[in-house]
Each structure stands twice: as structure tokens, then as C-alpha cells.
Chains A and B, each alone.
Chain A
Amino acid sequence: MKTWLLVIALQIGSFASGGEPKPTCCVTNGAVANTGRLGFGSPQAFTDKSLYQLDSVWNSADGTNLKLAELKGKPQVVTMFFARCELACPVLVHDVKRIEAALPADLRGKVGFVLVSFDSERDTPEVLRGYRERQELNAATWTLLQGRPDDVLELGALLGIKFKKDSQGQFAHSNVITVLNPAGEIVYQLNGLNLEVTPAISAIQKTLN
């Protein structure tokens, strides 16, 4: 919460000082732009269906803050999960790893993988960092994110993912892997577990042609 206020304060501060607003973070993936502004950012920079129009700010496993727009510029494979999940998420994350492993050599490193947690409360950047290590996810290509509950709900709504917290703090959720093109538009979704990954690979390839 305090981090949030700080981010907002920084943004307002940079406006008030009359200077160019500073980016609020340092994770760039080579494509910063449209950060450090209040409101809708610079919507004209995005296509009408781009998820990168969202203004929400997320905490990454690296301990930095970022907007989804910073993922712009390469295809991203986006999945929602939570670290304590014992049922579906291990399979779901394994499915994403299968996609990564099945990428043709010329696509390696050109595709990003994003895991967004349902569990705003428990999946702090530290927890996500631990998860990334346990799962042996490459920090250069995998982005793990924690967000505010409202923002998680909104992203879930955009990805068509249904989820619900139960009284034990676990989450029931649908299992969806989404491929975003470099502009942040949904181009392909895998609904379910243990599915054939070839169509996802083709979808990723198409976004780069």
C-alpha cells in the first residue's frame, strides 16, 4: 500500500515540477514508453485492443514496479496463477515451460513469459522470486507479477479468466494461457491443462512474421 502511494506521489511530483515525467521503474525489456503518466497514459500509442492500455502498476519479482506497456515489443505468453497452488498451477506453469521448450531456435529469447498472481496478499515480490528459482524460470525472459486485487480482477476479466478466493485463501480458477502479440493484443488462448502446445507456437510465430 505504501509503495502505491509512493508511486502516485512520485508521478504527481514529477508533474508538479513541470519537467518531463520520469518513468516509474527500471524494468524495460527494451521498450519503455508511456510510463509516468496519470490517466490513460498515451492511448494513441496503442491499438484499440491492446492490453497495454491498462494503467495498472505491478510489482515484479525483481522488486521493481511496472506497467504492462513495458512488456511491449515482443510476443508475451501470459498466465495467471498463484504460488501456493497445489492443484492446477504446477501443471499450468509446466505447460508454459513446454511452450518455451518447444520454441524453434530462432525464437528463443524473443518471446516473453508472464505469470500474474491471483494472490495479491501472499505473492509478494520475495515469494515470486522464490517461486521463480524453485521453478527454474529464466529471469531474463520470465516476468512474475503481483498486483492490487482490483487490477488482478480487471486483468482476469480481460483475459477471460474466472477466479474466486475460497475461505482457506486458495483460489479456484480457470486455466488459460494467452499469447499476446508485440502490440499487446490477444492472438491465441489455450483453455485447459495438458494441451498440445503446437498451435500456441504457430500463433507466436505468426506474430513475428
Chain B
Amino acid sequence: MGIGLALTTVIGRGAGLGVVAPPSGMALVPSGRYEPLFRGEKDPKEVTVEAFLLDVAPVSNADYLEFVKANPKWRRSEVKRLFADENYLKSWADDLDFGAANRTNAPVVHVSWFAAKAYCAWKGKRLPTTAEWEYAAAASPRRADGGKDTQFKQQILAWYAQPSVSNLPPVASRTPNYFGVHDLHGLVWEWVADFNTAMVTGDARGDTGLERKLFCGSGSEGTNDRENYPAYMRYAFRSSLKAAYTVHNLGFRGAKDL
């Protein structure tokens, strides 16, 4: 067991030595480039995302139930308001009951950033960064660079145009993307580790060090992709969040270094 783990680590880092199967439920997202939608005056156009492991599906109600069973302080009746607002696990029937059986594999929602972080730590994982998440989410079912896949872009736009359904379907019930990851689009929004690095605030003049022109009328001038509306929406959504917020269509998934 110990030797197996050590070997995995060594081979995982040696690019080209052969791909080791990622742990169950996770997909290996290979290293690549990510172009941030907004960036500072001195920031490069692209950042390199190192290869990492990502859960193939968002965390489900059943998964989360195991977590609260093992960690009473994260139960609905026990959680501290500092770490989750009053709507935490609102759709659950009780502390240890997520309600109807058809919710077993639905993504857990109404969870705060702190709760998501604590769940990931309990699993020996972490939340993905914005760069990692966006990079993985740029892949369509057919190619790593989904930005060139017109049909894929249209499908995402169609989802963003729909209001969220109250009965969320099970996770991983549709086609995975090029990396084998499900549901990055079309199910729920997801927490990222550095959600509070999205810099658009109510009064953007309060921010410093960003491209000034971002905050004038023609806001999209400073961005790299004026047509990527879903990315704008995710960016705006993240910048509106606070760490204790819980929302009916906001879940999360874990990530891990190789």
C-alpha cells in the first residue's frame, strides 16, 4: 500500500512515464494554459495550470451525509453562524436526513465555502482554484479546448439562460467532458478555493491595482474574451459571494495535487 502510493506519486510527476490511474472518483486533468477573464495591469495573458486531480462529479447529498455524521459540528443544528448562514442545508429534512430518496445522488447545495473546505479537508482534498476549475471547465466532451466547439458553447449558454430547477438531477448523469469530468456546466454553480480573488465589488473604485479601464462604462474592454458570457456570469457570481453564504444552486467538488 505504502509502496503503491509512493510509486503513484513518482510516476505522476514524471510526465511521459505513463499515466497512472487516478484515485476512484477523480480524474487527472493534465497541465495546460488558462487565460483569466480579468487580470491586473502587470499580469500575463495566460497562466499555467499544473496537472491536478479533480472529482469527476460534484459532492452529492449522500456523500455529504457521511461528512456530517462524522463531524457533528457541521450538522445543520450545530454549525456556527460565522461559518454558514441560516439557510445552511435548508433543503434537508433534518440534521441527518437529506429528505426524499431521489435526492441521494443529487448534488449537495446550501453549503458555505467553509463547509465545502472542511468537507474537502476531511477527504484529504481541497477545493479547486478558479484557474483549475475554469481550465477543466473549458473542455467540451470532444476537445480540451471547448472554446472552439460551437455546439458546446451554445449548450452552456442555454443552461445559463434557464432558471435552476428545484429538484436537481443526480450528479454524473450526463456525458463527461474531455478529461472525464461531469457537470462542470449544467447542474449547479460550484465553490472555488479563491472565490474572493474575483475583484469586482459594488464600488469597483475601491479596488486597487487592476486595470483602470475595467471600471469605466465599457467594462469588457479590458477582458480577453468579450464573447464568453458564461465566464462573465461565473465571475460576477463569485464576486457576489461571501464565505458563509449558502445558495440553492451552489455546490462544490474536491481537487487534489498530484
**Segment with Cβ contacts to B, from A27-35, A119-127, A156-164:** A156-164
Q: How far is the CB of B44 from chain A (nearest CB, A)?
A: 6
Answer yes or no: B196 CB below 8 A from chain A CBs: yes
Q: How far is the CB of A128 from chain B (nearest CB, A)?
A: 21
Whether B43 lies near A53 (C-beta < 8 A) is no
B174 CB contacts on chain A under 8 angstroms: none
Chain B contact residue count (CB 8 A cutoff): 33
Answer yes or no: B250 CB below 8 A from chain A CBs: no
CA distance A174 to B202 in the complex (A): 11
Chain A contact residue count (CB 8 A cutoff): 31
Q: A162-B196, A162-B207, A192-B206 are known contacts. Are A157 and B113 too (CB-CB below 8 A)?
A: yes
Answer yes or no: A175 CB below 8 A from chain B CBs: yes
Q: Scoring B residues 54 to 95 as 1 if CB is less than 8 Å from chain A, else 0, what string do you get? A: 000000000000000000010000001111000000000000
Q: A87-B208, A157-B113, A157-B243 are known contacts. Are A163 and B42 too (CB-CB below 8 A)?
A: no
Checking B41, B73, B117, B209 against A40 with a beta-carbon cut-off of 8 angstroms, the contacting residue is B73
Q: A157-B196, A158-B82, A167-B43 are known contacts. Are A87 and B209 too (CB-CB below 8 A)?
A: yes
Whether B82 lies near A172 (C-beta < 8 A) is no
Whether A153 lies near B194 (C-beta < 8 A) is yes
CA distance A174 to B243 in the complex (A): 16
Whether B73 lies near A168 (C-beta < 8 A) is no
Q: Which residue of B lies closest to A51 (CB)?
A: B82
5 extra interface residue pairs, beta carbon distance < 8 Å, beyond A154-B114, A160-B196, A170-B209: A161-B196, A167-B44, A172-B207, A173-B209, A191-B203
* 8 A–B contacts, CB within 8 A, in A order: A43-B80, A51-B82, A157-B195, A158-B243, A163-B197, A164-B40, A172-B208, A193-B206
